């Protein structure tokens, strides 16, 4: 069933204004204009340019004779009017800061036609022209900061165009996109985005041009997820072969595959402060840690615990978010035998500074971890620990006795209890919050023992207050108990 997209409120206001003007209601007309002036900038700040629900070219897209004269007609009546309004108003274009382009798909399946081929169907030429016009328009939004491309078929040259606009410092996210057309970018083209996030599989049609554009660019954040290592191999090798520093400003890198053979790639990222290893893919990194001269400014690491001894030693890492594996080993994915032994770690996980923020998901050695922290990293201020299996209150009590030795903690989340919130369980949790603050860290302000209830206190106060999604459940149970006692 087709879902009709409603008109923007700005269009409604314009219709109201025309009606009031015809009725000579000058006072109401002024009020209407004031409301429009106040709310229009907010409405356009985050803009969605949405294609028809059906593939473009389907006879049921509902284009009228009048609308068909617009170069945006194939986008559908509502989106066509929006694009015309943006094209005609410089003021309106100046309001847009974030733009999402979604749901533009051709009725004719695209293939890699030669751009000069006479065999390209006219309907597909029209679709290609529409997409190019939309991207030309978006490229003239002077304050555009973010671009989200979602579930669409997009000409490669349109992406290259936006990535080369000198006045834009874009954050670009690409999800579910198929690129078509020429895959060759101008060799002299500048690559201006500050952040780029995409699955490599979406870029395979234009991967070589993408690699060339990123050499020596000003990217600050880059995320390249992939299921096929071949494309990342090409990316790493090109940056390793570059005569200078190819990613001098890169601060955040997210990758899903890496092997020790490509460790020289990190010479291209001397200012990297955050590294994210996405997924749980097995990577061949060897036993020796990464050369200490590489990524010397690394401060935040996110990835499986087996990579801690490789990336952490000697670097000023103060934030670690990691996880354990519990399943059997696999040729591709990490298994429980890949988990490291905490006894083999140096002080502070090998970091040159104290680790103050630690998150460990699916942890199957919780007691050992707490003992390690007490012995080798006592200055922790944030600890978030999710055990592999739920705890009983008695098991959690024993772990909390160890936590009391961490005197610098401000936030503690050990979400391991699965009970339904009740007066008894809330009383138990409150008592342990008070005990942790009294006997452990005096600066503790936030605690959680389950995914349902969080406990917080104000600085200078000793009163712990519960909140979270479990409180309505608790209140309903309590209300039911009151009614039952009245009935009896």
In tens, the pLDDT along 400-412 reads 999 999 999 999 9
Q: Is 404 exposed, middle or buried (0-12, 13-18, 19+ CB in 10 A)?
A: middle
When the pLDDT of each residue in the chain is averaged and rounded to a whole number, the result is 85
Coil, helix or strand for 396?
helix
**What's the token pair of residue 378?**
């006592």
Query: Is residue 379 scored above 50 in pLDDT?
Result: yes
Identify the weakest region by mean pLDDT among 134-143, 297-306, 335-344. Answer: 335-344
Residue where the block lists tokens 């990336």: 311
pTM (predicted TM-score) = 0.85
Which pLDDT tens digit goes with each residue over 214-259?
999 999 999 998 766 888 999 999 999 999 999 999 999 999 889 8
β pairing state of 274-277 and 252-255: parallel
Terminal CA-CA length for the chain: 53
The predicted structure's pLDDT at residue 434: 96
Are the C-beta atoms of residues 277 and 258 closer than 8 Å to each other? yes
Rounded Cα distance between 486 and 403, Å, is 43
β pairing state of 195-199 and 446-448: unpaired
Q: Is 41 exposed, middle or buried (0-12, 13-18, 19+ CB in 10 A)?
A: middle
Are the C-beta atoms of residues 313 and 347 closer than 8 Å to each other? no
How distant, in Å, are the alpha carbons of 380, 429, 445, 466 from that of 440? 13, 15, 12, 20
Are the C-beta atoms of residues 128 and 74 closer than 8 Å to each other? no
Strands (E), 156-234: 171-180, 195-199, 221-225
The predicted structure's pLDDT at residue 65: 45
Count how many Cα atoms sit within 13 Å of the Cα of residue 383 in the half-sphere of its side chain.
30
Higher pLDDT, 227 or 310: 310
User: By percentage, how much of the chain surpasses pLDDT 90?
Assistant: 58
Which pLDDT tens digit goes with each residue over 119-176?
677 788 889 899 999 999 999 999 999 999 999 999 999 999 999 988 888 999 999 9
**What's the token pair of residue 98?**
């974030």
User: By percentage, how much of the chain surpasses pLDDT 70?
Assistant: 82
Which pLDDT tens digit goes with each residue over 188-212?
788 999 999 999 888 888 899 999 9
Residue where the block lists tokens 């097995």: 282
**What's the token pair of residue 465?**
């207050």
């Amino acid at each position: 069933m087709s879902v009709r997209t409603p008109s923007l409120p700005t269009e409604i206001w314009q219709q109201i204004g025309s009606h009031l003007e015809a009725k000579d209601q000058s006072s109401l007309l002024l009020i209407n204009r004031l409301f429009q002036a106040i709310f229009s900038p907010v409405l356009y700040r985050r803009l969605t340019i949405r294609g028809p629900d059906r593939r473009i070219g389907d006879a049921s897209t509902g284009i009228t004779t009048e609308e068909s004269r617009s170069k945006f007609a194939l986008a559908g009546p509502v989106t066509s009017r929006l694009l015309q309004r943006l094209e005609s108003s410089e003021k309106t274009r100046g309001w847009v800061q974030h733009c999402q382009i979604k749901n533009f798909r051709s009725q004719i399946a695209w293939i890699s036609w030669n751009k000069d081929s006479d065999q390209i169907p006219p309907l597909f030429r029209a679709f290609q022209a529409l997409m190019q016009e939309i991207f030309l328009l978006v490229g003239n939004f002077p304050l555009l900061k973010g671009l989200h491309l979602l579930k669409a078929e997009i000409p490669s040259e349109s992406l290259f165009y936006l990535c080369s606009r000198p006045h834009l410092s874009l954050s670009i996210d690409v999800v579910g996109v198929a690129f078509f057309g020429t895959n060759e970018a101008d060799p002299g083209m500048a690559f201006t985005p500050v952040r780029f996030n995409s699955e490599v599989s979406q870029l395979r049609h234009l991967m070589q041009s993408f690699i060339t554009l990123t050499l020596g660019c000003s990217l600050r954040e880059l995320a390249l997820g992939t299921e096929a290592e071949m494309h990342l191999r090409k990316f790493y090798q090109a940056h390793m072969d570059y005569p200078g520093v190819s990613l001098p400003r890169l601060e955040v890198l997210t990758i899903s595959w890496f092997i020790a053979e490509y460790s020289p790639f990190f010479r291209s990222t001397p200012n990297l402060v955050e590294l994210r290893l996405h997924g749980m893919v097995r990577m061949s990194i060897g036993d020796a840690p990464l050369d200490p001269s590489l990524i010397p400014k690394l401060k935040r690491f996110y990835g499986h615990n087996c990579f801690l001894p490789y990336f952490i030693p000697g670097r000023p890492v103060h934030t670690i978010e990691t996880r354990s594996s519990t399943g059997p080993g696999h040729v591709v994915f990490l298994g429980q035998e890949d988990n490291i032994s905490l006894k083999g770690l140096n002080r502070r996980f090998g970091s040159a500074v104290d680790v103050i923020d630690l998150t460990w998901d699916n942890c199957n050695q919780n007691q050992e971890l707490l003992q390690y922290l007490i012995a080798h990293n006592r200055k922790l201020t944030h600890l978030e620990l999710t055990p592999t299996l739920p705890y009983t209150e008695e098991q959690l009590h024993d772990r909390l006795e160890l936590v009391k030795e961490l005197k610098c903690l401000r936030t503690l989340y050990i979400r391991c209890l699965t009970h339904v919130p009740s007066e008894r369980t809330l009383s138990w949790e409150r008592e342990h919050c008070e005990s942790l603050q009294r006997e452990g860290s005096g600066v503790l302000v936030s605690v959680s023992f389950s995914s349902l209830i969080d406990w917080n206190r104000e600085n200078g106060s000793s009163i712990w207050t519960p909140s979270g999604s479990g409180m309505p459940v608790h209140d309903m149970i309590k209300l039911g108990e009151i009614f039952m006692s009245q009935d009896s």
